[in-house]
Structure 1
Amino acid sequence: MLIYIYFYPFIFLAAIRPLLTTFSFFITLKENKIFSFSGGCDFGLSASDTFSRDNPFCSLFGSTRGLKNYVVTPLVTKDKVFGLMALADLAGSRRPTNKHLQTVLTSLADQAAVARYNSSLYRYAIYDGLTKLFRGSHFQERLKIEMTRARRTGEKLTLVMCDLDNFKKINDTYGHIEGDRILREFGRTVRVKTRATDICGRYGGEEFAVLLPSTDVSGAVNVAENIRAHAESSIKTSDGKPVTASFGVAAWDVSMNNPSDFVHKSDEALYKAKQSGKNRVVFV
């Protein structure tokens, strides 16, 4: 579980963990800097790679001057190594032998691995895997929070609901793989055309939502129009036909006590956009 690394002309690292396949690699030093490595491991690196300063593994070992030994334990989730926890001895060449230190280091590595795994589960729970936007359920939670904040502070708050035009026909004509690609590209467009403070979600199917704090209707219409124009010009079907979307914009007011009231008002505007020819922005 714990790995000792000694800095000779070649450094050999071998990590063995119960129920985990062995990984190993060699690191070549040149003028006290990591130069290259060889060997197979689970880090997504191949035997022909050369380390560069921006490589995270180069950063791990980065300054080797005066370094004699390392105690290293792998960070593991679901039988897969995703990183290393290392303790360096800079003072001399003594090999660490303190059993308590080894136990603590292993325990910390296990806890770090669990925390990292829980973090990945949380991200999976709140983000849509296809578009990388919030899932509808998490968007609803954020909508509640922002409505409460707007009521308390008096700040403007607007909501944009958007729907890809003729998406069922796209799926029926080009297939679901093509449909997924279009959804993915539209999600990317939404992310690119909004601010970091805006809250964007895939509300369901081909319907998307963008919540704009501290933004009035005019600003929200501009955001929606930017998304609409960018999607029409950049997202095409496999045979080159443009993909369009319709948008409904609404502003929050104090009469809206529930998120459903706010969504319903924006949906009304979206319905009008659909009925009046699609590929447009309508606000109420």
Structure 2
Amino acid sequence: MSNNKRLSDTFTTYSFLSVLLVLILFVLFVYPAPEGILYSGLRILLILLVGVLFYQSLQPSRKLTQVEKRIHDTNSKSTISSDPLSAIQRDDEDLIEDLLGNATDFLENVYPNFTSGIYLANLTGTELVLRRETGETSQFIEALDPDDENIREILSSSATTVLLPGDEDSLYEIFINVSEPQLSQGALLTVPIQFEGTIKGLLAVHADRFDELANRDKILLDNHANQIGSTLSLLTGRAKLFAINKFEQSFRKLVGDLDLTRSKEEMLSSIVQFCEAEFSFDKLSIVLLDHSYSGKAVIVGNSGFTMDYGVGDDIVYSATHLEKVLSSQETLVINSRDEVSTAGRFTVGDIDEFNFQSYIAVPINNQHGVQGALVLESFTSSHFDDSSCELLEIVASELGILIDWWDTFGNIRETASRDGLTGLFNHRVFVERFEDELQRAKRYGESIVLMILDLDKFKRINDTYGHLYGDYVLKTTAKLLKESVRAIDIVARYGGEEFAVILINAHKDTTMQTMKRTVDSVASYEFKEDGITERMTISAGAAEFPSDGENLRDLITVADEAMYEVKRKGGNDVGLPEKGST
């Protein structure tokens, strides 16, 4: 019911009561107008009551805040039939609030130095209302007019738009509160929030300087806007469906608790736990395609019966129920083994091994196509009804969106953590990982060895053969170092021709052979490229936690000093700190 409708109904109710009281007063005053103190007091009381009722009839049930008025505006200027903005169902407001809070937390974590704003359409599509904003002070305009041709230009573009202040016909001032002096400069990224061609809102991120915005920021923002739009589309009108088996309450908790920066395994574990609480089954399986091999998939989540398949198992799904679901991209429901026309559930022949009677599988899709399937099985026939099918499809749809987001964010995060030339961890990630390992070592009382390595006389290589050959030497050295240590150890490019190696749970004395082998691997290698053959050596210094230092700064200083002492002696060796140097 709209706010205007509520006011109209309230006025009608109070007016009716007032008219009734007036009739009673007529009897008391005019005809037959009984005498006495009791009737006189009753007359006064009723006159006061009539006044109160008329006053109340003119007041709204409660005063709406400015934001509430914008969100719930349903006046006669509605453009819902012609405007591309999609109205968001009031029934889903709680779910949307959870989503917006989740999205805001993500933006604060990924862009701690930027200010972000999320605009969503109000019920009638007459305004884009600022629903969430990061930062301590308000920077964004409270509401945008979608009928403004400049705003429509931005909304009509599916790409990320960069807005700068001071440009001719700049749109920057439409979004930013330029009355604040510190906001009259900087750069703004805007991305429409849409799904299947329907505009849902706008995501905006403000940076103090244009050069702070990298290309990966545009990619990540675009993906995050798509994720918000897709989730909004799932939420719209979903409240009625969620009423089945109290699904609404459980799904709200899943969305509210979801940490968008968690690992893929944690995300899948949350989906499994949600299904355990909301569905009845004997076996649950989450299967994702192995895109490296056609016809192969991997079990990435399961619950219940595990004697046939477990997490991490590879399956070849040709001629099975699973292939039917993946190829058709449609939900498959089997109520009895008598209905089975394929040779297997997940692999050929597994139907006869275990007596599953009921089977329901829903494809997991996203914008890149089918990604896998969510499967429930039961040992009893006709176990799954229509509501189970509908609810499982909702979970699978949400899972497809989360997988798409996680894969995209994971790729961006991996690219940002690697040195572009050598493929090793870059300096920033080395520092982060080293701090993490120090904390872990302190907690469990373990030791860590840090090696700092520097190629000897590398400047000669660049000066003699040029930077292309120098790049080849650096890439090859990185490969040699990586191959000389264990998989659990961390190898990074520290800077220039310097490298760093963190030996996990190790001591200098017991790992000296490993450190010597690392140095010898470079000295014994012939660097051949483009008809040039050269020999290189490398010098290394080592420091151990906690005996040589208890923090990152001290350990790097000690290892550096030991490495430069090796260089002063001619290089091609491993140096340890002198006793008493720490």
Give the structure-1-normalised TM-score.
Answer: 0.66
Evaluate the alpha carbon distance shift between residue 63 and residue 146 of structure 1 in structure 2; reply closer, same or farther with a 3 A threshold.
same
Shift of 1:264: 0.4
Matched, 1:126 2:363: no
Partner of 1:57: 294
Which shifted more, 54-63 or 111-120?
Answer: 54-63
CA distance in 2, matches of 1:173, 1:74: 55
Q: Secondary structure at the match of 1:129?
A: coil
Which shifted more, 109-118 or 127-136?
Answer: 127-136
Matched residue type, 1:193: S
Greater helix share, structure number: 2
Matched residue type, 1:57: S
Shift of 1:172: 2.4
Greater strand share, structure number: 1
Matched residue type, 2:559: S
Please tell me whether the aligned partners of residues 548 and 555 of structure 2 are also in contact (alpha carbons under 8 angstroms). Answer: no
Matched residue type, 2:479: R
Matched, 1:204 2:500: no
Evaluate the alpha carbon distance shift between residue 229 and residue 68 of structure 1 in structure 2; reply closer, same or farther with a 3 A threshold.
closer
Cα distance per residue 1:191-245 (max 9 Å; x no partner): 1111122222111121111112322212333222111111122241432111211
Evaluate the alpha carbon distance shift between residue 125 and residue 65 of structure 1 in structure 2; reply closer, same or farther with a 3 A threshold.
closer
Cα distance per residue 1:5-44 (max 9 Å; x no partner): xxxxxxxxxxxx989xxxxxxxxxxxxxxxxxxxxxxxxx
Please tell me whether the aligned partners of residues 75 and 85 of structure 1 are also in contact (alpha carbons under 8 angstroms). Answer: no
Q: RMSD between aligned alpha carbons? A: 3.4
Partner of 2:448: 157
CA distance in 1, matches of 2:439, 2:476: 32
Partner of 1:269: 562
Matched residue type, 1:64: A
CA distance in 1, matches of 2:460, 2:370: 45
Which protein is bigger by CA-based radius of gyration? 2
CA distance in 1, matches of 2:519, 2:557: 21
Partner of 1:8: none
Shift of 1:124: 1.8
CA distance in 2, matches of 1:102, 1:155: 48
Cα distance per residue 1:120-154 (max 9 Å; x no partner): 12212323233232221121122223333434444
Evaluate the alpha carbon distance shift between residue 75 and residue 176 of structure 1 in structure 2; reply closer, same or farther with a 3 A threshold.
farther
Evaluate the alpha carbon distance shift between residue 74 and residue 130 of structure 1 in structure 2; reply closer, same or farther with a 3 A threshold.
farther
Structure 1 runs not aligned, ≥5 long: 1-16, 20-52, 89-97
Please tell me whether the aligned partners of residues 364 and 399 of structure 2 are also in contact (alpha carbons under 8 angstroms). Answer: no
Shift of 1:248: 0.8
Which shifted more, 163-172 or 123-132?
Answer: 123-132
- Return the structure number with greater relative CO, CA threshold 8 A, min gap 6: 1
Structure 2 runs not aligned, ≥5 long: 1-194, 198-289, 298-315, 330-362, 376-388, 578-582
Q: Secondary structure at the match of 1:161?
A: strand
Matched residue type, 1:173: T
In the TM superposition, structure 1's runs of 4+ consecutive aligned residues that sit over 6 Å from their partners are 98-104
Which shifted more, 266-275 or 163-172?
Answer: 163-172
